[in-house]
Chains A and B, each alone.
Chain A
Amino acid sequence: MKLLRRTLIATAALVALGAQAAATVGQPAPDFALKDTAGKTVRLSDFKGKHVVLEWTNPGCPFVKKHYDSGNMPATQKDATSQGVVWLSINSTEKASGDYLEPAKLMAWKTERKSAPTAVLMDEEGTVGKSYGARTTPHLYIVNPQGQLIYAGGIDSIPSARASDIEKATNYVKVGLAEALAGKPLSAATTQPYGCSIKYKSPA
């Protein structure tokens, strides 16, 4: 336990130093503390003992819209949270980007689409996104109850912006969670994330 915490701190420190050791599947997931859209601080370590899904999001991105407007992402979230899984939507879009939405507007956008994640987190500095090596919106990760990263990749198997492809695609997150909750290893632990580049703040 202590060792794990120490590793997490060390990882966080490395990231802070700009070492950019991206998270790796099978390794401890980097801990973080981010404010949710209500200004409350949320830590990954708050949810030790539960499966946690991290979803990088940006309402300005057509790929995110594909999965929200079609109801696919909200349904996947609901499916997960109803099984006791924690779902954190993280927005790493920098404030200067045209896509940036203020917390209240971001939340309103989500609520309007019946999205009900456990929390929507603001990462305007992009530190958390970079520590996970998040590249696209959407880009999804699953952390197991022991705090290890067990999935990194796309929401599903058909990289396209067409909502009509959702039905034909394999939802990797749904499948991965079902396997993880059944105590099985994931059949697809890393997949190709697809979507828009995350609009990270350029390094000063």
Chain B
Amino acid sequence: MQAIAAPAPVAQHNGAHDEMPRGRRNQPPRDRSHTATMPYRLLHRLAFALLLIAISAYWTSASAQFGSKSAATTAAGSSVVTTPYVRAELLAHAPQGVAPGQPLWLGLQITHQPEWHTYWKNPGDSGLPTDLAWTLPPGLDAGDIAWPVPRKIPIGTLANYGYEGTVLLPVPVTVASTFAPGPLAQEATIRLRASWLVCRKECIPEEGEFTLQLPIKSTTALHAAAFDAAAKAQPRPVMAGTNGIIPDSQAQIVDGNALQVSVQGLPTALRGKTLDLFPETGEVIDNAAQWSQSWKGSVWTARIPLAAQRSNSPSVMPVVLAVQDGGHNAREGYRAELKVLGTWPAAASMATVSPALEAALKANAANAAVPAPTGASALTLAAALLGALLGGLLLNLMPCVFPVLAIKVVGFTQHAQNRRAHRISGLAYTAGVVLSFLALGALMLGLRAAGEAVGWGFQLQSPAVVAGLAALFTLIALNLAGVFEFGHFLPSSVASLQARHPVADSFLTGVLAVAVASPCTAPFMGASLGLTATLPAAQALAVFAALGLGLALPYLAASLVPAIARALPRPGAWMDTFRKLMAFPMLATVVWLVWVLGQQSGIDGAGALLILLVGMALVVWALSLAGRARIWMGSVAVAAMALMLWAFAPHVTRVAAEPSVAVAPAGSPVAGWQPWAPGAAEDIVASGRPVFVDFTAAWCVTCQYNKKTTLANADVLADLQAKNVALLRADWTRRDPAITAALAALGRSGVPVYVFYRPGKPPVVLTEILTVDEVRSTIATL
């Protein structure tokens, strides 16, 4: 046997590199095989390549001095590679020569320097398994490494599985009947390129090329003892039962953090002894953890903690068991395939943030990159404020706000000639909006502090508020349509107040805008308002104020910047037409509110509300008449209204006994939706099925829009069905503390919220305004 062969370059230079004094580490002769380059490093690389060529030349001459050539360059290569840490030798065992059907084993024998080790198939917490790549004559086929029983090698708080001392990694080779060496061939050339990682505390990756001339006709059994020992160290399957069936060995997942292992069929000689366990599947158990084991008759049991960052969830876990001993490598081991019972714990659920909020956070993070290192809360607060401001802006376009804005535009054009009046009314409007939002926010926080489970839009969960808003919108619509003028029936002092104090008028318009805007949870708003639940009161109120500012901003800008005001159309006869037109969106809003009330109080409640609205319309019309007609009609109308209130008002506020599931009217394709219940989503996910939850409410316009468009889209429905997604609808039309809590868990305090729950992954929260693309791309990731 040759003494020393030229080690593969990688092995050599890495080894040498590690031993170099620190100060000279700068120019390691490495990367000779690496060709990937980046443009900016080109010059650097060129210089490097020249250096490498020089070093290679040196090496070649150095090897020549030992009288041997690199295995890669000549057929008569070496079967041995020696590095400072290991001596590795390619061995063969062919007692009957190389012939079809006869046993043929090849193997790499690694002799480690003391304290150094290489790795098993599952290396444990670090390391790499030794890799063998064969080049064999046609007809010879190498199998996988028959790994001998490894050792557990603890390194501080970590643990590896591997080999110390001398180990032979045998590989069975099958000789096919097609194996046909030429009639004159005496030997078969076996080539092996092996790579291994050898470690003490430090690690050196090494590679070696090996060549062996294997006699075909004669016996090769020089290393029979080594191959015998390796065969003995092969883990053998646990014993079959009397009926030949291998008994069930199990790993039950317990408490979500451990495996309760029970192994049957181990030989009696092992009973009562302490065993080592080596999992063939990596990244499942906590390799270095202490664990307990015991024998229950013939069954060995152990409780083994799971890794905190487990990345494998196998259904069958093969393990190797061996008696714990002090020393030598060759020891008997037994292999059992554990059937995994129970569900692998999902990584703790974590709501991912919607891209919209993410964008806001990102934009903000960029802004706040300026010196504002007050840290976390400043950043989050700034993001929330920005989100609220944008949300407020978008509110202007919501169907329930636009008419109010339109009133304001009408009013605005009336003052078109007076810039000072503009400014004042703009500021008054802004003050009205912001103060109303602050009041609403304070009320919400106050209720929260008092222990009430409320969220944004909570006002609309009360039928009385819905009815009140319906009445308000009816009045506005009648006024816009010209049925009555406020001045005709309001006490003259109030009327003149309005006329003489446009400031107060603007302020009240602002209040009105907030009253009607509150049901519309615009994008950004949901997330920003969700934050208010966790912010200190002062900061939470700041978020509400930002929301108000956003809502008031377009008007404020128009009032302060003359250019915008000039761009507005001139007043004229068209204004009256426009005003009357705006009555219709108002009436549409009333229809919607009546429908919402219908969800809450049933059809009787909705009917009662309608008749009361008619009565109210009668009253305001009567009061707007002049002279005796006003007194006469007014009395009758007021009396009739009083009677109707007495008769019908209880119907309006009475909550229907049966919780009517707030789904779309008949005819809509909403089949398959189940009502949400606390824990329902988690239960379904645990069974391995993804779940989509629609947190909605009848009074939420965005929710209804999404439900009728995206969620009714045929492609979306088909995708949901294809992935067998369970559909749950959480209806928040009426107060429901369980839903409020579920929303809070997702970091939200209002609807809509759309969530996908997936087995083993964190839930995904979608944006408030759903697009078909977004839903489908999310479904695609399920």
Contacts and interface: CB of A to CB of B under 8 A. Distances in A.
A and B are interacting partners = yes
Interface of A: 1-3, 5, 20-27, 45-46, 48-50, 59-63, 65, 69-71, 75, 84, 97-99, 101, 105, 109, 112, 130, 133, 135-136, 144-148, 150, 152-153, 159-164, 166-167, 181-185, 187-200, 202-203
Contacts of A136: 125-126
B353 interface: yes
Interface in B346-381: 347-350, 352-355, 358, 361-362, 364-366, 368, 373, 375-377, 379-380
Contacts of A193: 126
A146 to B, nearest CB: 7
B379 A190 contact: no
B30 A26 contact: no
A192 B127 CA distance: 11
B127 to A, nearest CB: 7
Given A70-B34, A190-B347, 19 more contacts: A3-B534, A24-B308, A26-B347, A45-B375, A45-B376, A48-B376, A49-B364, A65-B30, A69-B28, A75-B38, A133-B308, A146-B353, A182-B355, A183-B355, A183-B358, A184-B781, A195-B126, A196-B126, A197-B158
Nearest to A105: B22
Interface of B: 10, 14, 18, 22, 25-26, 28, 30-31, 33-36, 38, 41, 125-128, 155-158, 160, 195, 197, 199, 201-205, 282-283, 307-311, 347-350, 352-355, 358, 361-362, 364-366, 368, 373, 375-377, 379-380, 383, 534-535, 758, 761-762, 764, 781
Nearest to B289: A20
Top 10 nearest A-B pairs (CB, nearest first) are A161-B205, A48-B376, A49-B379, A26-B348, A183-B355, A190-B311, A22-B308, A163-B34, A26-B347, A196-B203
A26 B350 contact: yes
Given A25-B347, A46-B373, A202-B156, A196 B534 contact: no
Contacts of A63: 203, 205
A6 to B, nearest CB: 12
A67 B375 CA distance: 32
Nearest to A139: B126
Given A99-B202, A185-B764, A62 B14 contact: yes
A175 B14 CA distance: 30
Contacts of A197: 125-127, 155-156, 158, 160, 199, 201, 203
Main DSSP-derived SS at the A contact region: loop
B769 to A, nearest CB: 15
Contacts of B781: 184-185, 187
Contacts of A153: 309, 311
8 contacts: A23-B308, A24-B348, A45-B376, A46-B375, A147-B376, A160-B128, A162-B195, A185-B764
Given A26-B349, A48-B379, A190-B309, A196 B355 contact: no
Given A48-B376, A50-B365, A195-B126, A60 B202 contact: yes
A84 B157 contact: no
Contacts of B34: 69-70, 163-164
Contacts of B368: 49
